[in-house]
Amino acid sequence: MGKRAVYPGMFDPVHNGHLDLIERSLRIFDEVIVAVVGNPSKSQLFTVAERMEMIDEATTGHQNFRIVSFDGLTIDLVARERADCIVRGIRAVSDFEYEFQMALMNRKLRNTVETVFMMPHERYTYISSRLIKEVASFGSPVTGMVPSGVEKRLADKFRQA
C-alpha cells in the first residue's frame, strides 16, 4: 500500500482553490480521499450528496482518489481509511492558528498521522466557500472561482430562494 491522504472539508461548495489542492495532493500521495463533512452543527447550502456530486463532476479524469462523506472526527476517518496523512489548505495567516491547533490535537489522538499544510495557487488565496456563496446570493458571477457546474448550481439555488 502506498501513501494515502485524507483531504477533509465542507466543500460547500467546492471551488477552484479546493481543486488546486486535490490536483497537487495527487502528485504527492498515491491515493487521496476527499472527505465531505456532514457537520449538522453548521448550516449548509448544499446537501452532502450534492457536494459529493459537484466534486465528482469537477474531477472527471482524475485517478487514485475517492470521495467519501463522514460525520465525527477526521482522525477517526483517517484510521478507518488506513491513511498516513491529513491534507489541509492554508490561504492566509488567519487560517494557520486554527489548523495548527487541529493538527496538534490530531497528533495527540493518533501520533502516527501527519498533517500536511498546502497553500493554494496565489490566484485562489482570496477564495472561500463563504465568500462565493455571498457573492452568488446577490446574483453576481463567480466565474473563474468555481467550476462551471458549481456556478450553475449556485445560480439555481439562489433563484429558488
108 is catalytic: no
- The H or E element spanning position 86 is strand 85-89
62 is catalytic: no
Q: DSSP label at 143?
A: B
Of 27, 41, 42, 108, which is the active-site residue?
A: 42
Q: Evaluate if residue 39 carries a pLDDT over 80.
A: no
4-124 domain in CATH 3.20.20.100? no
18 is catalytic: yes
15 is catalytic: no
- Domain residue ranges of the chain, discontinuous segments joined by +: 4-124
pTM of the predicted model as reported, rounded to 2 decimal places: 0.94
Of 24, 62, 91, 157, which is the active-site residue?
A: 91
Q: How confident is the model at residue 107 (pLDDT cuts 50, 70, 90)?
A: very high
Q: What is the pLDDT of residues 129-148, one digit of tens each?
A: 999 999 999 999 999 999 99
CA distance 37 to 72: 8
How many Cβ atoms from other residues are within 10 Å of residue 31's Cβ? 19
Residues 6 or more apart in contact with residue 28 via CB below 8 angstroms: 3, 5, 116
Q: What is the pLDDT of residues 108-133, one digit of tens each?
A: 999 999 999 999 999 999 999 999 99
Of 18, 51, 88, 133, which is the active-site residue?
A: 18
CA distance 1 to 30: 9
User: What is the pLDDT, as a whole number, of residue 161?
Assistant: 61
Q: Evaluate if residue 77 carries a pLDDT over 70.
A: yes
